[in-house]
A and B are shown apart, each in its own frame.
Chain A
Amino acid sequence: MTQAEIKLCSLLLQEHFGEIVEKIGVHLIRTGSQPLRVIAHDTGTSLDQVKKALCVLIQHNLVIYQVHKRGVVEYEAQCSRVLRMLRYPRYIYTAKTLYSDTGELIVEELLLNGKMAMSAVVKKVADRLTETMEDGKTMDYAEVSNTFVRLADTHFVQRCPLVPATENSDPGPPPPAPTLVINEKDMYLVPKLSLIGKGKRRRSSDEDATGEPKAKRPKHTTDNKEMWPLAYSQSQHSRVNSEFQFTFQTQTSSEIVRTMLRMSEITTSSSAPFTQPLSSNEIFRSLPVGYNISKQVLDQYLTLLADDPLEFVGKSGDSGGGMYVINLHKALGSLATATLESVVQERFGSRCARIFRLVLQKKHLEQKQVEDFAMIPAKEAKDMLYKMLSENFISLQEIPKTPDHAPSRTFYLYTVNILSAARMLLHRCYKSVANLIERRQFETKENKRLLEKSQRVEAIIASMQATGAEEAQLQEIEEMITAPERQQLETLKRNVNKLDACEIQVDETIFLLESYIESTMKRQ
């Protein structure tokens, strides 16, 4: 794990869980898998605090444990999972767009608590919704359960592995750490909840759907639903979707591609290079209801898409009216390249961007050729090339003419290695997010006194309004905060908002680059 990643992980853990958990988490990320005593000794924290921190981390799926030989249990942190915490608001928003408020709240509860039993989630979400609804109305549990089932069906939530129940438990001592097993098929099974009644007065009786033996009954509270990796792939599809909207000229073609993506959500894993082949008939059937284009028009669109030089959509066969696949790897590659180009343009100017695109297109170019093709004077071209070289957007490829690699008899070619440039950019993104978070914390700390004062004043005003105070008194309390202080607060708020928005946007780039790198690595 690079230093930048570790720093970012440390900041994220600190914001979410406090200093102690951060210390333990970062220690585990840095040193890999370790047993409990070693962690306590190395970090100098007491055993209970280490235990508490590990509990929190395991609950949130950030640390896994394994039993090694001689019964030693070792804990290992997963850095990529910690970095994923940056994306939580984006997940909640995606759930909102697809499943409305209920879905949003379910996802939010699961993210806040790491893992939860279905019954607990449904109860909490229904109560929250009831609070926001008008007086007299209550949220039906069944509706919330339905949304939950839909989330499970589209793989937004996933079941956690359970401790296997042994009917005839052996009399020996229990193992030092339970081994969790999960059947692939069961991952998205939802237990049948029959919640009797609705609203505040209710009795819920949870029943296992498959009629499992009674021994499992007391353990059914561990029948948890866990969230994380799937919102990731889901979000990916929706992101790639939104990118497609820009690349495709017409509304219709983007709609067709979106339908294809939706259909292949469940069948394709997040890092597959191609979606499963879909026949044109299936696509026609699954188009959204409002779209009434005829079959021939759809076929024409599909042919055009398949012939497009961008190669996002490919034709893989002729059965069923033509089988079409979406080339995810290509799509991600072109998105990553577009990101790189845009970064070069914004950092170095449009002439540099021209050189960059040229080298990208021609793969390998010599110094002289670059000047000729780009039609930029030699001195400037040289300067720009070296600037990009020093920042590692462009790399040099040596081609020796003689076996002794003499510099006077070697060709030096400029080339763009997209994978390594993407990695470099990703590393910079991590650094920038870490910087943004630090700056935001600094700003907040600087104005801590002022923030506390304003919070107190707000609390006073709220309590006075509740007890029915007069306008004059409220005015007086409000004047406790002077005008320059108010302005300072405004500036602070604006800055913090801006920094937060920056983090969100950099996170989008991180998502894209990570997906591209993952997809490329899988192919190799």
Chain B
Amino acid sequence: MAGNKGRGRAAYTFNIEAVGFSRGEKLPDVVLKPPPLFPDTDYKPVPLKTGEGEDYVLALKQELRETVKRMPYFVETPEEKQDIERYSKRYVKVYKEEWIPAGPKSKKAKDTGKGTSLTNTADVLKKIEELEKRGDGEKSDEENEEKEGSKEKSKEGDDDEDDNAAEQEEYDEEEQEEENDYINSYFEDGDDFGADSDDNMDEATY
């Protein structure tokens, strides 16, 4: 098939007349790359239809677009949890109309939510007592506020509150464990440090 390409004139296997080219005529160029993304057009598009009807439909379309955003069917993407919970976030939340299709599952979710929030408030209360004993004044104030905040919102069974309270708890625990500022694994005896590491080494040190 491709064997004859290099030798002399091209010979076609079919009647070139049928496709419309006469012999010896310059064939159109071979296309080597994809067509341009925005090719120039010789003919510009026809202007759009205008009229009262069209304007009305346009207005309807734009209104519809705005309205669907406010409907409860528009599910917002949940925000990613941030490492540090910003205090102001709680008070900037915008409440949208909640649409829960009637069903047994939604009731279950509500119950479990309430349960965990109650246990959380119990834990929080315990923490507050411990902290008060320690005499960490500033912290307990914060804890009090958080406790009140979480109590108010526990009625809604909001999952976010549980998570935030849980995070706060974990954070507190970590802080409490560290009585001092020093790393626990720091060796006080400097001599043993080097010796220990050499014990199991079979290879020579360089």
Chain A residues within 8 Å of B, Cβ to Cβ: 15-21, 48-49, 51-53, 55-56, 59-60, 88-90, 92-93, 96, 108, 112-114, 346-349, 366-367, 378, 381-382, 385, 406-412, 497-498, 500-505
Contact = CB atoms under 8 A, between A and B. Distances in A.
B101 interface: yes
A52 to B, nearest CB: 6
A348 B164 CA distance: 64
**Which of B56, B61, B68, B76 is most buried by chain A, counting CB atoms within 10 A of its CB?**
B61
Given A48-B109, A90-B57, A497-B58, A412 B19 contact: yes
A367 B20 contact: yes
A56 B75 contact: yes
A500 B64 CA distance: 12
B173 interface: no
User: Nearest 6 A-B pairs (CB), nearest first?
Assistant: A407-B14, A89-B60, A89-B61, A408-B15, A382-B20, A408-B14
B103 to A, nearest CB: 8
Given A59-B101, A112-B67, A367-B20, A92 B60 contact: yes
30 contacts: A15-B65, A16-B68, A17-B75, A18-B76, A20-B75, A49-B75, A55-B101, A56-B73, A56-B75, A59-B101, A88-B64, A89-B58, A93-B57, A93-B60, A96-B56, A113-B71, A113-B73, A114-B73, A346-B43, A346-B45, A346-B46, A349-B43, A382-B20, A385-B20, A406-B14, A407-B15, A408-B13, A408-B14, A504-B58, A504-B61
B77 A19 contact: yes
Contact of A348 (B43, B54, B73): B43
Interface in B1-30: 12-15, 18-21
Given A18-B77, A346-B43, A367-B19, A500 B14 contact: no
Nearest to B48: A501
Contacts of B56: 93, 96
Nearest to B72: A56
Nearest to A508: B49
A504 B57 contact: yes
B44 to A, nearest CB: 9
A19 B61 CA distance: 20
Nearest to A496: B62
Interface of B: 12-15, 18-21, 41-43, 45-46, 48-49, 53-54, 56-58, 60-62, 64-65, 67-68, 71, 73-78, 101, 105, 109
Given A112-B67, A347-B43, A500 B75 contact: no
A112 to B, nearest CB: 6
B60 A378 contact: no
Contacts of B53: 93
A17 B65 CA distance: 10
B interface SS class: loop
Nearest to A497: B58
Given A18-B76, A93-B57, A503-B61, 13 more contacts: A16-B73, A19-B75, A49-B75, A59-B101, A112-B71, A114-B73, A366-B18, A407-B14, A409-B15, A412-B18, A498-B48, A500-B62, A501-B48
Given A112-B68, A410-B14, A411-B18, A17 B73 contact: yes
Nearest to A97: B53
Given A59-B101, A60-B73, A412-B18, A407 B13 contact: yes
A382 B22 CA distance: 11
B58 A501 contact: yes
A162 to B, nearest CB: 15
A349 B43 CA distance: 7
B48 A502 contact: yes
A246 to B, nearest CB: 13
A8 to B, nearest CB: 16
B53 to A, nearest CB: 7
Nearest to A20: B75
A501 B54 contact: yes
Contacts of A53: 75
Contacts of B74: 16-18
B122 to A, nearest CB: 26
B101 A20 contact: no
Contacts of B78: 49
Contacts of B57: 89-90, 93, 504
Nearest to B78: A49
A42 B65 CA distance: 30
A504 B61 CA distance: 9
A389 to B, nearest CB: 11
Contacts of A112: 64, 67-68, 71
Nearest to B61: A89
Contacts of B67: 112
A49 B62 CA distance: 28
A112 B18 CA distance: 59
Contact of B54 (A381, A408, A412, A504): A504
Contact of A18 (B19, B20, B60, B75): B75
Contacts of A498: 48
A88 B68 CA distance: 12
A498 B61 CA distance: 12
B24 to A, nearest CB: 14
A51 B105 contact: yes
Nearest to B74: A18
Nearest to A104: B60
A61 to B, nearest CB: 12
Contacts of B54: 501, 504
Contacts of B75: 17-21, 49, 52-53, 56
A500 B61 contact: yes
A48 B75 CA distance: 12
Contacts of A96: 56
A378 B20 contact: yes
A18 B177 CA distance: 44
B77 A20 contact: yes
